[in-house]
Structure 1
Amino acid sequence: MTVPTKSVIYARVHRPDPALIARAAKFGIADLHEGLGEIAGRMCLMSPAMVPIAPGQKVCGPAVTAWNFPGDNLAIHAALYTAEAGDVLVLTNGGGHQGALWGDVACTFAQKKGLVGTVVHGATRDVDAIRDLGYPVWSTAVSPEHPKKRGPAAVNVPIVVDGVLVEPGDLIVGDSDGVLVIPRALLELAVTNAEARAANEVEFRRRIGEGEVLFDVLGMRKLVADLGIEIKDCTWEEDR
């Protein structure tokens, strides 16, 4: 990863195959998180601090990134300028609440341009107006504090957002569970595994509907036995 040493705006982004994005969009982040595997799935998942502004939000699209100096949001305007329909803006100022990164006017323009959502590692303001617009936003803070617009700034470079590395063109998936970043190199793997997981869950629901208990549907009885855990048909007082 090359870190810029001065302000820069890259106008172009390598985006994933639209057909692969469409396949990913069928799933919530839980399935795709599982599909990435135990290590990548955790490394690519933002923390519970990254919350949706409104219930029922969903987003799936390639990242356009913006690094902002604390208290400043110049970079988000450059990112808005370079972004294309279907993109997700991913913004950070390091996570501080000083200077709101995102508000309703930016939302209005993003929505008109065809962007599908914004992820903010920092503060969002005009929350009620954004909810009325119906534009999906996730944020780690809410504050009306006035931002400056003087930089320094960097757009479409790798950034760290809520502890997760985000490179331009990575797939951003968000819903009520949070936000997941899927590196382009792992997208096919994540989607294929999510499809297999979804098929398994269809079978689980069928068996539950036919009267089986979840303990057996998930193979917990065998797992408990293999771990040497004893199931005793008595209370703990009776076993003393």
Structure 2
Amino acid sequence: MRDLLPELCDSYGAELTLLPSKFSSFGGKAIFWGQVETVRCPEDNGLVRQILSEPGKGRVLLIDGGGGSRRALLGDQLAELALQNGWSGILVYGYVRDVMTLSNLPLGVQALGAMPLKTDKRGLGERSVEVEIEGRRIQPGDYLYADPNGIAISAALLVLPEGFKELNA
């Protein structure tokens, strides 16, 4: 299997925003991409459940937990829901749990780390908002591309190198 991000950087370097290399892969799908939907929800993932209950249509959900490590914003139940509804992947600017189960699901999941505590459900959160990760801004509707080399954001859909399109099905 080839690496996606180095090839995209070679072809589209000036058009890409690379996220800091703080994220680790937790899902069973190492390479994923799609149009971004965002949610900001520090320590409350009720809105995440609502969004992942909708048809994903190959999109990627970016969960902005502000990088907080006190609670996991994604676990096995929400990941299963994402799979059932056709989401390509999930990027968590925060922490996940149920990592053994996540690693066996055919879903792209990257996060800062693992934390076994679940969130409180207080009805907090904002959907479809600009997210900023260490000075890099991501808009709803941008495109996210991820593999073990890192994560890249593009304002436009990129033409993928030969042989990659079927990996996101």
Q: TM-score range by the shorter chain?
A: 0.7 to 0.9
Contact 2:54 2:85 in 1 (8 A): no
The Cα shift of 1:84 comes to 2.3
Runs of 4+ residues over 4 Å off in structure 1: none
Alignment partner, residue 36 of structure 1: 12
Q: Does 1:107 align with 2:113?
A: no
Alignment partner, residue 93 of structure 1: 65
Alignment partner, residue 90 of structure 2: 118
Bigger helix fraction: 1
Q: Structure 1: which 5+ residue stretches go unaligned?
A: 1-25, 199-240
Greater relative contact order, per chain length (Cα 8 Å cut-off, separation 6+): 2
Q: Give the match's secondary structure for 2:48.
A: helix
Assess, with a 3 A threshold, how the Cα gap between structure 1 residues 175 and 59 changes in structure 2: closer, same or farther: same
Q: Superposed, which structure 2 residues align to 1:65-76 within 5 Å?
A: 65-69=38-42, 71-76=43-48
The Cα shift of 1:54 comes to 5.0
Assess, with a 3 A threshold, how the Cα gap between structure 1 residues 90 and 37 changes in structure 2: closer, same or farther: same
Distance 2:86 2:133 in 1: 23
How many residues get paired?
A: 161
> Scaled by the length of structure 2, what TM-score is found?
0.83
Larger Rg: 1
Which of 78, 100, 103 does residue 131 from structure 1 map onto?
103
The Cα shift of 1:160 comes to 1.5
> Scaled by the length of structure 1, what TM-score is found?
0.60
Distance 1:157 1:83 in 2: 19
Contact 2:97 2:115 in 1 (8 A): yes
The Cα shift of 1:85 comes to 2.0
Contact 1:97 1:143 in 2 (8 A): yes
Cα RMSD between the aligned structures? 2.4
Contact 1:46 1:163 in 2 (8 A): no
Contact 1:93 1:121 in 2 (8 A): yes
Give CA-to-partner distance per residue, 1:24-83, whole Å, 9 cap, x none.
xx9711222343335x53xx11111112115761101111111012x2222312321345
Distance 1:144 1:98 in 2: 9
Give CA-to-partner distance per residue, 1:159-194, whole Å, 9 cap, x none.
12354211111111111111111113xx45xx4xx7
Q: Give the match's secondary structure for 1:118.
A: strand
Q: Give the match's secondary structure for 1:132.
A: coil
Bigger strand fraction: 2
